[in-house]
Amino acid sequence: MPSTRLRGMSALNRDEVAHLAMLARIDLSQDELQTLSGQLEQIARSVAKVGEVAADDVPPMSHPLPLTNVTRVDEVRPSLPVEDALAGAPAAQQRRFLVPRILDEE
Amino acid sequence: MTATTTDAVMDLDEALERFDPVFGLEVHVELNTATKMFCGCATGFGADPNTQVCPVCLGLPGALPVVNATAVESAIRIGLALNCEIASWCRFARKNYFYPDMPKNFQTSQYDEPIDFEGYLDVEVDGDDGPETFRVAIERAHMEEDTGKSLHVGGATGRIQGADHSLVDYNRAGIPLIEIVTKPITGAGGRAPEVAKAYVSALRDLMKALGVSDVRMEQGSMRCDANLSLRPRATGSQEQADVPLGTRTETKNVNSLRSVERAIRYEIGRQAAVLAAGGSIVQETRHWHEDTGVTTSGRPKSDADDYRYFPEPDLVPVAPSAELVERLRGTLPEPPAQRRHRLQSEWGYSDLEMRDVYNAGAVELIEESVAAGATPAAARKWWMGEIARRASAELRPLADFGVTAQHVAELDGLVTSGRLNDSMARQVMEGLLAGEGTPTEIADARGLQLVEDDDALETAVDEVIAANPDIADKVRGGKVQAAGALIGQVMKAMNGQADAGKVRRLILDKLGA
Ligand SMILES: [Zn+2]
């Protein structure tokens, strides 16, 4: 249940933020980790409040605004230069993203 | 890559005597929009790796997707052409999985709210008395995005197994896809492989007629997965429909029309052998190998495959108005099968002729040739002759040989106007295939021109009759077919530059036959 998970997250500590940052491949300094741990914990606590009112008779909502049909015209816009596209990749080869072995060795 | 297998396979006839096949098809159609589903990157095939990518389709933090309006319209038109209901409100969903072909770690798809649902497509298969119609029920068609392409490095011949690492090109990631899913198809019996092929073929024709996709299976713009299960044949008073369905396998990578038929046929034989030996079918993904014509086991699959679908928060719902749907309904083309029947009757072709023309991919070319002034008979003769022979030998489309519908119409015009006879026209076709120019240019360059000089022709006819009194007598006596020998000699005397029909008329006139 999402609500339980959110409540569980309220004890978001510095190690967990460091772990999340690693998964998201975001480099954080020690100072940033310190600041963000506090902020993220606060956010998680606020979001967890939803769990207190989410009863079975309240349908889950995916979008807070009553918007539909936001579309764009089928016209080409410039893509990134390939160097820029690959710049954030940990490794690249032959203008492609290099990823580690996909299947485990059996 | 060559896959071999030690799987036993039962003879198809025996398998079908003992088991009833039930199958389903999932077809992915890549739309031919100019841009991707959720970003403005171009979609052209064959661009340099990672030159058609942006923060959205690379899944970079903070990038926001926006839906391609044309892709939604194509999805609705496909649904309408498949006789589907169109959702008045539906959402995209994230399908989460761990595989580097999507940089976002999820594919934006639709889950339980497909834009098109509950439709059908009528397909034609050869019956005992000409074409028969088989109705394939469509479960749903939904919008999603294509994945990137991976090169596997360090293993044997590019396979993912044993690879050391992989290189990914995300140009294809994000190109709009429509996934069209049938309901389980029952009642096809022994014709299951044929119905499967006819369905994919009909779907391809429909997409082409709608103009929504290039549907080039060899380039991957149309791809097919085939589910198959077997159940025992009903016995006694039991209805076949009451026999519970067996466990199914899903065969991936079935990417040509011929493969659809072959893969279903193979899987029927394989599963029948397993079941007949007292074994049970494992629910799994299998891979089709075009070269060896077998399927091999992939990974086990369960209905509980957990993709953790949830509504895509970055995209607002799609809610096509009734007006939009009706406007799009007005843009639907004549259904391909109906169009084929209309053309067949307009052209006066037999069922067999029409089927050959269709299988050769000549329907549009003949239609254009006729529109450009050729007679239907001549258009068929030229497209289905040397051009079709070459196309089928070289596995290339008919339009690939430099001959156009205009050429064919012009060539036919040269024949009907009396400038060329049949053998001259054939020489012009040779010239067309050799890229020597237009039919008139080729006829001029090669000096092809029927003799218009009636006096010369008459003299030749008189001489040939005088030289062959016996044959002439036979013709006078009513044996008209004997005139053939005289016609041949006159044509020879004229160096082939005469209208054989005219020669024949002259000879018969002179001999009073
Ligand atoms: Zn993009």
Residue B69 to residue A74, Cβ atoms within 8 A: yes
What's the rounded mean pLDDT across residues B244-252?
94
- Min distance A11 CA to chain B CA atoms (Å): 24
Cα within 13 Å of Cα(B155), Cβ side: 19
Selected residue with higher pLDDT from B395 and B250: B250
- Residue of A24, A96, A102 with shortest CB distance to B49: A96
Q: Which of A80, A82, A83, A106 to mutate to test the interface with B (most CBs of B within 10 A)?
A: A80
The pLDDT, as a whole number, for residue B79 is 98
Q: Which among B28, B15, B138, B36 has a CA at the least distance from the CA of B82? A: B138
| Half-sphere CA count of B48, side-chain side, radius 13 A | 9
**Neighbour tally for A15: CB within 10 Å:** 10
The answer on pLDDT for A7 being more than 50 is no
Residue among A65, A76, A79 whose CB faces B53 most closely: A79
The mean pLDDT of A32-48, rounded to a whole number, is 89
Distance between CA B65 and CA B92 in Å, rounded? 11
| Measured distance CA(B166)–CA(B160) in Å, rounded | 8
Q: From residue B282, how far is each of A20, B294, B303, B320, B439 by CA, in Å?
A: 38, 17, 13, 41, 61
pLDDT tens for each residue of B51-62: 999 999 999 988
pLDDT value, residue B159: 75
pLDDT of residue B361 exceeding 80, the answer is yes
- Residue of B464, B453, B454 whose CA lies nearest to B490: B464
Q: Give percent above pLDDT 90 in chain A.
A: 36
A29/B contact by beta carbon, under 8 A:
no
| Structure confidence by residue, pLDDT tens digits, B375-404 | 999 999 999 999 999 999 998 889 999 999
B332 touches chain A (CB under 8 A): no
pLDDT at B83 exceeding the cut of 60: yes
Measured in angstroms, how far is the CA atom of residue B448 from the centroid of ligand 1? 57
> Which whole-number Å values give the CA distances from B433 to B93, B95, B402, in the listed order?
52, 51, 6
- pLDDT confidence of residue B451: 73
Average pLDDT over residues B401-425: 93
Among B145, B146, B149, B173, smallest CA distance to B160 is for B149
pLDDT of residue B2: 54
Q: Strands B176-182 and B284-289: what pairing?
A: unpaired
- Listing DSSP states for B156-198 in one string gives GGG-STT-SEEEEE-SSTT-EEEEEEEPPB-S-GGGHHHHHHH
Decide if B110 touches A, using CB distance below 8 A: no
- In the structure encoding, which two tokens stand for residue B346, read together? 């307009």
Closest CB to A102 among B100, B311, B315: B100
Cα B434 to chain centroid distance, Å, stands at 27
Mean pLDDT across B239-243? 91
Cross-strand partners of B168: A97, B150
Over residues B341-358, the mean pLDDT reads 94
Average pLDDT of every residue of chain B: 92
pLDDT recorded at residue A3: 39
Three-state secondary structure of B408-433: HHHHHHHHHCCCCCHHHHHHHHHHHH
- Interface test mutation site (partner A, options B37, B50, B98, max chain A beta carbons within 10 A): B50
pLDDT of residue B303 exceeding 60? no
C-alpha–C-alpha distance, residues A61 and B313, integer Å? 10
- Give the 3-state secondary structure of residue B127: strand
Q: What angle do CA B105, A77, B34 make, to 5 degrees?
A: 80
Determine the pLDDT at residue B452. 72
Quick one: pLDDT at residue B59? 93
A75 in B contact zone (CB under 8 Å): yes
| pLDDT higher than 50, residue A10 | no
pLDDT at B161 over 80: no
- pLDDT tens digits, B208-231: 999 999 999 988 899 999 999 999
Query: Helix, strand or coil for residue B107?
Result: strand
Distance CA B449, CA B424 (A): 8
- Min Cα separation A13/chain B (Å): 23
Chain B residues 161-190 with CB within 8 Å of chain A = 161-170
Q: Is B316 on the interface with A (CB under 8 A)?
A: yes
B120 alpha carbon to ligand 1 midpoint, in Å? 34
Range scoring the smallest mean pLDDT among B149-153, B184-188, B305-309: B305-309
Q: Which of A72, A96, A71 is nearest to A82 (CA)?
A: A96
Could you say which of A62, A95, A99 has the minimum Cβ distance to residue B165?
A99
Which of the listed CATH numbers 1.10.1060, 1.20.120, 3.90.1310, 1.10.10 matches domain B454-511? 1.10.10
Ligand 1 center to B140 CA (angstroms): 27
Q: B247 in helix, strand or coil?
A: coil
Bridge-based pairing state of the strands B294-300 and B310-311: unpaired
Phi and psi torsions of B420, nearest 5° = -115, 145
d(CA B378, CA A105): 62
Q: Nearest to residue B228, comparing CAs of B17, B7, B25, B5?
A: B25
Question: Minimal Cα–Cα distance from A87 to chain B, Å?
Answer: 12
Which pLDDT score is estimated for A9?
46
Amino acid at B134: F
Q: What is the DSSP pairing of strand A71-72 with strand B67-68?
A: parallel
Q: Do B71 and A82 touch (CB under 8 A)?
A: no
Q: Is A77's CB within 8 Å of B41's CB?
A: yes
What average pLDDT does the segment B201-207 reach?
96
Average of per-residue pLDDT across B404-408: 96
User: What mean pLDDT do residues B366-379 have?
Assistant: 96
CB atoms within 10 A of CB A101: 16
Collect all residues of chain B within an 8 Å Cβ-Cβ radius of residue A89.
none
Put simply, whether A97 touches B (Cβ < 8 Å) is: yes
Of A23-27, B237-241, B304-308, B333-337, minimum mean pLDDT range: B304-308
- pLDDT above 90: percentage of residues in chain B: 72
Tens of pLDDT, residues B447-465: 888 877 778 888 889 999 9
Checking if the pLDDT of B301 tops 70, the result is: no
Q: CATH 1.10.10 residue ranges in chain B? A: 454-511
- In this structure, are residues B278 and B9 in contact, taking their beta carbons and an 8 Å threshold? no
Residue type, B264: I
Average pLDDT over residues B457-483: 89
Q: Does A96 touch chain B (CB under 8 A)?
A: yes
Closest residue of chain A to B314, computed from CA coordinates: A63
Query: How would DSSP label each residue in B219-240?
Result: GTSEEEEEEEEEEEPP-TT--G
Q: Would the CB atoms of B35 and A75 count as touching at under 8 Å?
A: yes
CA gap B102, B488 in Å, rounded: 71
Mean pLDDT of chain A: 83
The answer to whether B150 contacts A102, with C-beta atoms less than 8 Å apart, is yes
**pLDDT value of residue B166:** 92
Tell if the CB–CB gap between B54 and A99 is shorter than 8 Å. no
Phi, psi (rounded to 5 degrees) for B292: -100, -10
Please tell me if residue A93 touches chain B, with a CB cutoff of 8 Å: yes
- Residue B69: which of A72, A79, A102 has the nearest Cβ? A72
Name the H helices within B277-331. Answer: 322-329
List pLDDT tens digits, range B190-199: 999 999 999 9
Which residues neighbour B347 within 8 Å (Cβ) at sequence distance 6 or greater?
Answer: B354, B366, B370, B376, B380
How many Å from the N-terminal Cα to the C-terminal Cα in chain A? 35
**Residue B1: predicted pLDDT:** 46
Cβ contacts of A101 on chain B, cutoff 8 Å: 163-166
Nearest CA among B388, B436, B432 for reference residue B409? B432
Is A1 a residue whose pLDDT tops 70?
Answer: no
The reply to whether residue A70 touches residue B71, judged by beta carbons under 8 angstroms, is no
Mean pLDDT of B480-508: 86
User: What is the residue extent of each domain of chain A?
Assistant: 1-52
Interface contact flag, A88 B49, Cβ < 8 Å: no
Q: In angstroms, rounded to a whole number, what is the distance separating the alpha carbons of residues B113 and B85?
A: 12
C-alpha B131/C-alpha B141 separation (Å) is 27
Interhelix angle B483-493/B500-510, rounded to 10 degrees, is: 120
Determine contact: A23 vs chain B, CB below 8 A: no
Q: Are A72 and B47 in contact (CB under 8 A)?
A: no
Domain A1-52 has CATH 1.10.20: yes
